[in-house]
Chains A and B, each alone.
Chain A
Amino acid sequence: MQPLIVVENLVKRYNGRGPVGRPGVVHALHRVTFSIAPGKTLALVGESGSGKTTTALCLACLERPTSGRILLEGRDIAALQEKELHAVRPQIQLVFQDPATSLNPRFTVLEILTEPLLFQRKARRSEAAELAYALMERVGLPAEIARRRSGELSGGQRQRLAIARALILSPKLLILDEALSALDCSVQAQIVNLLIDLQLSLGLTYLFITHDLAMAAHLGDEIAVLDRGRIVDRGAPEMVLRKPEKEATKLLVQSAPLSTGIQPLRRVS
């Protein structure tokens, strides 16, 4: 099957200055290579600072890679000009860890969902509202909260809203950057179920970024381990996590709360 997205030799360096003005270079990503088939999930795991979020931002065209290629359905989106990216960005959507800061506090739920559609001129106001209500129902948000603002929602509702907002432009790839980390266990399970249902019904492709190995094993069709900006291990979850060979993978497995064995989560109805 032709992969939806292919990342080849992705390199990202940040040029920075220290407090006394000394220039320094941070190598965030070094020759990162992976691909994801349509309708599949790649779980990207790694400890904090390993480059997971930088990978997400490069894929979502929100950071320009220093070098390398990102092929979305065969088209190198890393080489596109800023003007061309406006049309590409909606195809790859991000869901962040903290829904409280990733939702515009000034907008109502309805505005959050309809704004991208209206701005992209994909629907008129009334059509956009209809689509928004339909999507709210799909992600399990009651229609009554449409006029509320994000500050008036619970953590679970906010993350459902963040997912709905990511889906409103019908993206091909959904990047979930620690999207479950800020939620409690019961809400996590509900959101995981929602993600699985959405993937099955809409054929979505996920890049699931996490440091939770159990969740990675549960959701991922494949796992890639990122360590200091390099992919050091990659394969089926049971292969990578049950018999870790690489040092970074071993450390991750050992530091997991249930290091005796990664058990897939049971689906919560």
Chain B
Amino acid sequence: MTRFLLSRMTHAVLLLFGVSLLTFLFTALAPGDYFEEMRLDPRIGPETVSALRTRFGLDRPLAVRYASWLKSVVRGDLGYSFSYNSPAGPLLWARARSTLLLTFTATLLTWGLALPLGIWSAERLGKIPDTLISWAMAALLVIPDLVIALGLLLLAVRSGWFPTGGMASVNADALTAGQRIGDLGRHLILPVAVLVFVALPVVVRHVRAAMIGVLDAPFLRVARGHGIRRHRLLYRYALPAAANPLISLFGLSIGALISGSLIVEITMSWPGIGPFMVEAILARDIYVVLGGVLLSTCFLIAGNFCADLILYWADPRIRAGSEEK
């Protein structure tokens, strides 16, 4: 186990280093920078622009800038935001927290719904529940994210049931702690619903396919022959046997926690990392972009790592294989 963990950690560090280097190179080699547009402003002289570039270290060689940025990553600053004139790390983290609240809730809800739906659909293969679920999932799959988001926004505007944007009401400061949590919950409903509707068909289809592959296995027939009941057969016998591809998919869901909600955050004015990154890309605030990419990569690596750990815990064959090695 220790060897497994060490090897994964080494792999993760190398991957992060590679991604950071490539992203740094691509952004640095792209034409123009944050101060380029200032040159077009007749009120700002070239000396001022030059002084600003010197102040922020943009006139130094690429390798020196990369090394300096790496140092700031180790400190947790993730570089410096030109737009906000402050370290990029705290800015990114504040927005990442909002994004994580949204995507984590949506991911939990998606899997919580997809598992029973997929299992039920597979168990009733070819029957009315399976047909209805398959049709509903196919319909959700073909509707673009944006259309779902706009449709739900329209519903919210017409009905007035849910807040139509943001993370808190205007008068949130005047609310008690409990009321604030309720207010946050109400603001979460719409964006979470969009994320669930978008992710649900994919996960349900995977769960259904994995379960169909297992439900006909002779060991399940034997267990039925022992009088083991349906619920136990499905959840203690069939689901663990079908779980490996689903665990890998769950790892990808974790990987997408930071980067998978851009459209929802923009359409529903959720103060997450998505709109912040778009703003930073347009302004060429390169250290914010770099920090965002690094954060996203961290989650992708963490997702895969979690999937590996769950597989190791859930599948005794993988454990045995690892111990043999």
Contacts and interface: CB of A to CB of B under 8 A. Distances in A.
Residue of A87, A102, A149 with highest tally of chain B CB at under 10 A? A102
A233 interface: no
B228 A102 contact: no
Interface in B214-236: 217-219, 221-229, 232
Interface size class of B (residues with CB under 8 A): 20 to 34
A64 B181 CA distance: 54
Interface string A43-63: 000000000000001001110
Interface size class of A (residues with CB under 8 A): 20 to 34
A221 interface: no
A75 interface: no
A228 interface: no
A189 to B, nearest CB: 24
Contacts of B223: 104, 115
A151 interface: yes
A17 B315 CA distance: 36
A102 B227 contact: no
A198 B93 CA distance: 69
Contact of B224 (A62, A149, A162): A62
B226 A119 contact: yes
A102 B222 CA distance: 7
Nearest to A117: B226
Contacts of A89: 224-227
Contacts of B162: none
Given A149-B316, A149-B317, A152-B320, A103 B219 contact: yes
Contact of A104 (B227, B232, B241, B315): B241
Contact of B229 (A86, A94, A108): A86
Given A86-B227, A86-B229, A120-B227, A105 B218 contact: no
Contacts of A102: 218-219, 221-222
Contacts of A101: 217-219
Contacts of A93: 225-226
7 contacts: A62-B224, A86-B227, A96-B218, A96-B222, A102-B222, A119-B227, A120-B227
Interface of A: 17, 57, 60-62, 86-87, 89-90, 92-94, 96, 98, 101-106, 108, 115-116, 119-120, 149, 151-152, 162, 165-166, 169
Given A86-B227, A94-B225, A115-B228, 5 more contacts: A96-B222, A104-B219, A104-B237, A106-B240, A115-B226
